[in-house]
Chain A
Amino acid sequence: MAVFKRFQLKVWGIAAIMALSLMVQACAPQLSPQSSCNFVMSNEAQRVSWGAEAPVILYVDSSVPSEFFGAIQAGVNTWNQSLGREVLKIGGWSTAYPTERQDGVNVIYFKRDWPEASKDKQAVTTIHWAGDRIFEADISVNGNPSHYVYFWGPEPIPRRVDFESLLLHELGHVLGLDHSEVEVAGTVMAKKLMDTTTRRQPVAADVDNLRCEY
């Protein structure tokens, strides 16, 4: 009897959710498609962003070398200053979320055990969204020293990748920007970053795109 009651509860629970979802979908008006402004687009052709939830608070995992904390903060400051408002914020160091997973917390990782199969990738940023709102973003940097070595300072170092340029790019993804498919000279959202190249300031197109949402 108890098993039957549990089964009934389960069926009613699922039925209620399905009915509500259908009602909500039926009530929702068709949205006009938005221009992308180089943002990730939802299935309803809406730009995907944090909207009113910004500023986005990011934590820096303890795996990130302390010498690069300044580069991360510089990337955050650059986007904030470019937009004239705080859209990103560093929450500090963290040891509480050592594994990258969907957990509702935005974290920057430095993975020294980056797999050989992905050795040509410097970083991966994952964003999670529902509707047209991002609710989580995580950045993982390839910290395997046999793949890439980084620098942060005024002068490029041969055979090293600029950590600030890399983070500025990834932080653009955190805000919802996609890779730049159109060849805009100097865009920080280009999908390749060669050794010693520095792209520490967004070009006007990058900022104009972000202004579509922030």
Chain B
Amino acid sequence: MSLTAAEALTVTLQARQSIYNAPNRTSEVIDAALSLNRDELEFDKKFQIGTF
């Protein structure tokens, strides 16, 4: 089975969510899981318009 990038991302995000929802979760586990993937998976860009 092969996954597209979007599907792969969905699987990873779902895994993150399942840890978040786990009954025995601790805040440390959640924080670690979130911070671990956020830098790798999420991006942002700022656009500026003006008279410069």
Chain A residues near B (Cβ < 8 Å): 6, 9-10, 13-14, 16-18, 20-21, 24-25, 27-29, 31, 40, 42-44, 46, 51, 102, 120-133, 142, 166, 169-170, 173, 178-179, 191-195
- A121-B48, A194-B51 given; 9 more Cβ-contact pairs under 8 Å: A24-B11, A46-B5, A121-B49, A128-B44, A129-B44, A131-B6, A191-B48, A192-B50, A195-B51
The distance in angstroms between the C-alpha atoms of A85 and B11, with both chains bound, is: 30
Chain B residues contacting A43 (CB-CB under 8 Å) are: 43
**Residue in chain A with minimal CB distance to B14:** A20
The distance in angstroms between the C-alpha atoms of A130 and B16, with both chains bound, is: 14
Chain B residues near A (Cβ < 8 Å): 1-9, 11-13, 15-16, 19, 24-26, 28-29, 32-33, 36-37, 40-52
What 6 pairs across the A-B complex have the smallest Cβ distances?
Answer: A131-B9, A121-B50, A13-B29, A120-B52, A28-B8, A24-B8
The distance in angstroms between the C-alpha atoms of A24 and B40, with both chains bound, is: 13
Interface residues of A: mostly helix, strand, loop or mixed? Answer: mixed
Q: How far is the CB of B13 from chain A (nearest CB, A)?
A: 7
**Residue in chain B with minimal CB distance to A121:** B50
28 pairs of residues in contact across A and B, judged by CB atoms under 8 Å: A9-B28, A9-B29, A10-B29, A14-B32, A17-B33, A17-B36, A21-B37, A21-B40, A24-B3, A28-B4, A28-B8, A29-B4, A120-B51, A121-B52, A123-B48, A123-B49, A124-B48, A126-B47, A131-B5, A131-B6, A132-B5, A133-B6, A170-B47, A192-B49, A192-B50, A192-B51, A193-B49, A193-B50
